Each structure stands twice: as C-alpha cells, then as structure tokens.
C-alpha cells in the first residue's frame, strides 16, 4: 500500500486559533494533538477540531504545500476557502 501524506488544519473554538500541520497518519496525529502529547505548541489550545485536509502521494509535495499554507498568501487562501465552505469565521 502506498503511503499518503496529509496536510491538515485544526481549529480551537475555545481560543479561535488555527494550526496547520503535516502527517502520514492523521488519526494518530489528531489524538496526539488532543490527548496524548504532553508538550508542544498545541496542548494549551485543546480541544482541536479538524476543519480541512488535503492528501498527497509524495512527502516533498506535501511539505511544499504545508509551507505555502503557513505563509501570508497561504493563510489568505485558506481563509477564503474556509469562508466558501461556511467554516470561517468559526461558529460562535
């Protein structure tokens, strides 16, 4: 089975904070962000909800996309995309 890579966007409703990440195992990574991890930048913003994902067949392609989404233009694109899906602004 070919490995897939995932770019994901998390949202913390409690703090109205977004987080962009990359993984090859979204379910385990999500568990880590919400429950397992004892350190890192995401633990203080729990709980997280996955609001957006993209799938890639190569790691370099996924990492390039993650870097873009973390840039100013990428954050603008993401905001517009989430708005078009009714996911931004987050529900109050």
pLDDT digits 0-9 by tens, 17-54: 999 999 999 999 999 988 888 888 889 999 999 999 99
Residue 73 domain-assigned (yes or no): yes
- pLDDT of res. 1: 61
| pLDDT at res. 63 | 97
Which two three-digit tokens encode residue 3? Answer: 């490995």
Domain that holds residue 62: 5-84
Q: Positive or negative CA dihedral for 71, 73, 77, 82? A: positive
Q: Give, in order, the Cα–Cα distances in Å from 28 to each of 31, 42, 56, 63, 84.
A: 5, 15, 17, 19, 28
Residue 42 lies in a domain: yes
> Which CATH number do you get for residue 17?
3.40.1440.10
Which pLDDT does position 91 carry in this prediction? 64
Domain count, the chain: 1
**pTM score, two decimals?**
0.87
According to the model, what pLDDT value does residue 89 have?
A: 74
| Residue 89, in any domain of the structure | no
Residue 79 placed within a domain: yes
Domain-embedded: residue 50? yes
Question: What is the tens place of the pLDDT at every residue in 58-72?
Answer: 999 999 999 999 999
The answer to whether position 57 is within a domain reads: yes
Residue 40 domain-assigned?
A: yes
């Amino acid at each position: 089975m070919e490995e897939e890579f995932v770019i994901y966007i998390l949202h913390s409703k409690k703090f109205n904070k977004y987080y962009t990440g990359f993984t090859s195992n979204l379910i385990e990574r999500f568990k880590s962000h919400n429950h397992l991890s004892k350190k890192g930048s995401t633990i203080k913003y729990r709980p997280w909800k996955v609001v957006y994902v993209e799938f890639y067949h190569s790691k370099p392609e996924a990492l390039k996309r993650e870097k873009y989404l973390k840039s100013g233009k990428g954050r603008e694109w993401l905001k517009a995309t989430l708005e078009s899906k009714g996911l931004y602004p987050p529900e109050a």
